[in-house]
């Protein structure tokens, strides 16, 4: 992580640079806002440390221009005197990460920098393909294997909880097999249609085959010719339809409802389910021969709680899309809001995360979303009896301690000194606990 220091005071600047060097931190030192404007954007910075009073522009003007100009805005920490604390608080409301008042303890500044580094936001790197599924190792591995799957597999099963992005993976498989986008991707939700409607949708029908069939219609198998047929929620398919699907897969032919002519079809089949198909086979509700037919390649998509690295990556994508659609209502996340998102388990996965952010963007009047904007009730880390049985006593006590410190920080407005007094410990001890318990990035509003 590289630091951009914006400080016109020669003595303070040299002192901070010496300390950054001692800590092994890379840095650039800009002595004017104009110099900082030229560097930020051309260099990738993990954090910007800026004095509010600068010789050419104010720190507030510098921050405002960076926000208006850059897609990626690194976390800003402002250095201010006691007389300008109101301006620093105003900057926090506009999206700055933190401020520190003169005279300050340099240890305190180093702690703030390390806290902000816990959830880094990195812009796309030139010459590198941006990830499409996530930045976590789990999703990177899945994305890396998709081109090989698209080139060689005609039957793929994608499993995972509801809302993890199974259709998105199916679309990427199709895109790898058809870069020119000339072939069809045909999705069908097996759980949304009755048995008769599902048969008519999949196989098509001839004119007059049933009441309302006023014309001949091609089914999804035919519409997916040379492309991809995506059967979502295949675990909900009725047994009689499973037989017909198996025959179509084995023979690569279909007969329309009310028809007699056999029609040859050629397609890639991608199935998805949030259920345990193997368990359904053992229970007798899913055909074993169909299971082996659709399970040639199996991709399991982990839930968000198992790949927390993707939570902020997805959140920023959703907020960028919202800002593009509604420029006057563009939103950003505070450090505390980001920490709350990462701490939440997201039982509804990506769909729930998108809904949460969409709701907050509509209801919040502020440009920066806070923890309270995201969750109607404060995010709590519940511990069920099952959870307790599976964790050690030390882990359980650490979870309780972390929850108690979070409550204290919220009650004291994230003021470190006041929180330490309320807890009956020293400020140094509080910082050590924050680091150890992994909550250093939540938010620190002042020393």
Number of domains in the chain: 4
Domain boundary residue among 270, 304, 338? 304
pTM of the model: 0.62
At 415 the pLDDT is 75
Nearest Cα to 296, choosing from 138, 173, 429?
Answer: 173
pLDDT tens-digit series, residues 120-138: 555 544 444 578 898 888 8
Domain boundary residue among 351, 374, 397? 374
Q: What is the mean pLDDT of residues 367-391?
A: 59
Q: What is the mean pLDDT of residues 140-158?
A: 92
Give the list of residues 6+ apart from residue 8 with CB closer than 8 angstroms, or none. 31, 32, 51, 54, 55
Q: What is the mean pLDDT of residues 2-18?
A: 90
In this structure, are 297 and 348 located in the same domain? no
Q: 141-152: b or e for each residue (b if 16 or more CB lie within 10 Å)? A: ebbeebeebbee
In this structure, are 314 and 418 located in the same domain? no
Which DSSP symbol is given to 131? P
In this structure, are 146 and 285 located in the same domain? yes
In this structure, are 357 and 390 located in the same domain? no
pLDDT tens-digit series, residues 26-65: 999 999 999 999 998 788 888 899 998 899 888 888 888 8
In this structure, are 352 and 328 located in the same domain? yes
In this structure, are 144 and 281 located in the same domain? yes
H-run or E-run covering 431: helix 427-436
In this structure, are 31 and 95 located in the same domain? yes
For 70-136, where are the alpha helices, taking DSSP H only? 85-94, 106-116
Query: How far apart are the C-alpha atoms of 165 and 161, rounded to whole Å?
Result: 9
In this structure, are 146 and 182 located in the same domain? yes
Domain that holds residue 325: 308-374
In this structure, are 259 and 316 located in the same domain? no
Which DSSP symbol is given to 31? S
At 129 the pLDDT is 59
In this structure, are 237 and 333 located in the same domain? no
Rg of the chain in Å (alpha carbons): 28
Residue 146 structure tokens: 């998709």
At 135 the pLDDT is 81
Q: 260-280: b or e for each residue (b if 16 or more CB lie within 10 Å)? A: eeebebebbbbbbbbeebeeb
**pLDDT reading at 379 higher than 50:** no
At 437 the pLDDT is 76
Give the list of residues 6+ apart from residue 433 with CB closer than 8 angstroms, or none. 401, 405, 425
Q: What is the mean pLDDT of residues 218-243?
A: 94
Using pLDDT thresholds of 50, 70 and 90, give the confidence band for residue 109. Answer: confident
Domain boundary residue among 128, 155, 176? 128
Which DSSP symbol is given to 162? T
Among 94-108, 116-130, 179-193, 233-247, name the one with the lowest average pLDDT.
116-130
In this structure, are 78 and 24 located in the same domain? yes
pLDDT tens-digit series, residues 255-272: 999 998 999 999 999 999
Averaged pLDDT of the chain: 84
């Amino acid at each position: 992580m590289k630091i951009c220091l914006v400080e016109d005071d020669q003595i303070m600047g040299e002192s901070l640079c010496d300390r950054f060097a001692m800590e092994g931190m890379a840095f650039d030192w800009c002595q004017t806002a104009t110099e900082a404007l030229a560097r930020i954007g051309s260099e990738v910075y993990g954090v910007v440390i800026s004095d509010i009073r600068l010789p050419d522009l104010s720190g507030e003007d510098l921050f405002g221009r960076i926000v208006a100009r850059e897609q990626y805005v690194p976390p800003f920490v402002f250095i201010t005197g006691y007389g300008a604390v109101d301006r620093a608080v105003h900057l926090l409301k506009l999206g700055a990460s933190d401020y520190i008042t003169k005279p300050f303890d340099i240890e305190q500044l180093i702690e703030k920098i390390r806290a902000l580094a816990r959830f880094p936001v990195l812009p796309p790197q030139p010459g590198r393909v941006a990830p499409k599924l996530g930045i976590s190792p789990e999703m990177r591995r899945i994305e890396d294997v998709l081109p090989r799957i698209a080139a060689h597999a005609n039957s793929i099963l994608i499993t995972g909880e509801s809302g993890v992005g199974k259709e998105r993976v199916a679309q990427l498989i199709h895109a790898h097999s058809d870069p020119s986008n000339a072939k069809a991707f045909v999705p069908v939700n097996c759980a949304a249609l009755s048995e008769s409607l599902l048969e008519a949708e999949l196989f098509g029908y001839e004119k007059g085959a049933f009441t309302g069939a006023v014309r001949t219609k091609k089914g999804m198998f035919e519409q997916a010719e040379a492309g991809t047929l995506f059967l979502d929620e295949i675990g909900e398919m009725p047994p009689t339809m499973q037989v017909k699907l198996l025959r179509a897969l084995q023979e690569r032919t279909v007969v329309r409802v009310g028809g007699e002519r056999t029609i040859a079809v050629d397609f890639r089949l991608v199935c998805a389910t949030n259920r345990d198909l193997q368990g359904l086979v053992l229970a007798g509700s899913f055909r074993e021969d169909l299971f082996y037919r659709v399970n040639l390649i199996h991709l399991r998509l982990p839930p968000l709680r198992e790949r927390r690295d993707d939570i902020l990556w997805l959140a920023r994508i959703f907020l960028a899309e919202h800002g593009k659609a509604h420029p006057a209502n563009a939103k950003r996340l505070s450090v505390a809001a980001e920490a709350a998102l990462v701490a939440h388990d997201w039982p509804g996965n990506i769909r729930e995360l998108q809904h949460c952010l969409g709701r907050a963007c509509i209801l919040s009047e502020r440009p920066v979303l806070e923890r309270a904007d995201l969750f109607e009730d404060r995010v709590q880390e519940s511990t069920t009896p099952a959870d307790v049985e599976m964790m050690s006593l030390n882990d359980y006590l650490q979870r309780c301690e972390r929850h108690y410190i979070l409550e204290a920080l919220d009650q004291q407005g994230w003021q470190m000194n006041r929180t330490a007094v309320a807890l009956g410990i020293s400020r140094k001890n509080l910082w050590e606990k924050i680091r150890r318990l992994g909550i250093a990035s939540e938010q620190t509003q002042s020393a």
